Amino acid sequence: MVARKEPDRTTTGSNELSERIVIYTDGACRGNPGPGGWGAVLRFRDQEKRLHGGDPETTNNRMELLAVIRALEALRKPGQAIDLYSDSRYVLSGISEWLPNWKARGWKTSARKPVRNVELWQRLDELAAAHDIQWHWVKGHSGDPGNELADQLANLGIDELD
C-alpha cells in the first residue's frame, strides 16, 4: 500500500473524513463491445489499495459496474462509511434512481423489458446495502487524481489481456 494523504473534504453524517473510506472506480472498453477493463482505488487513512482486471469481450457499462463491485468486495467488514467517486452516470443513476424501481417491477425496466446486466446490478445492490455509501459523480478525464488513477488501472486491465 502506498501512503497518501487525502485532501480535506466536508462530509455528511457523524463520521469524520479520517474514518471514511474513499473509493474511485472506472471502467474502460476498447470497442463497445470489445476488450474491457476496470480499475478501483481504495483509500483509508494513510493506506491505498489498487485493484484492476479485464474481460476479453464486454461492454463499458459492465466494466463500470464491475469496478464498483470489486472495490466493495475488497472491504473486510460491513458497515463501512464510504465516499465512492465514479465518472459513470450509468452507475450513479442506476444505484440512486433506477434500481428501486427495477426491484419493485421484478427487475424489469419501465418498458417491461429485462434489466441489462441484471446479475451485476443485483450484486451491487447486495454489497451497497451493507455499507453507508455517499455516491459522488466526478467528471472523467478532467484531472481529478483519483479518477485518473482509476482510469489508468482500468486500461491496465485491458493491456494485461494480451
Contact 133, 82 (CB under 8 A): yes
Number of residues in the chain: 162
Residue 125 annotated in active site: no
CA of residue 92 relative to chain centroid, distance: 9
Residue 27 annotated in active site: yes
Q: What are phi and psi of 60, to 5 degrees?
A: -60, -40
Residue 83 annotated in active site: no
Q: How far apart (Å, rounded) are the C-alpha atoms in residues 3 and 5?
A: 7
Question: Residues 36, 87, 94, 146: which is the catalytic one?
Answer: 87
Question: Residues 46, 141, 159, 160: which is the catalytic one?
Answer: 141
Question: Residues 26, 36, 39, 157: which is the catalytic one?
Answer: 26
Q: How far apart (Å, rounded) are the C-alpha atoms in residues 112 and 99?
A: 14
Question: Residues 27, 37, 94, 146: which is the catalytic one?
Answer: 27
Question: Residues 39, 64, 146, 157: which is the catalytic one?
Answer: 64
Residue 26 annotated in active site: yes
Residue 141 annotated in active site: yes
Which residues are catalytic, by number?
Answer: 26-27, 64, 87, 141, 151
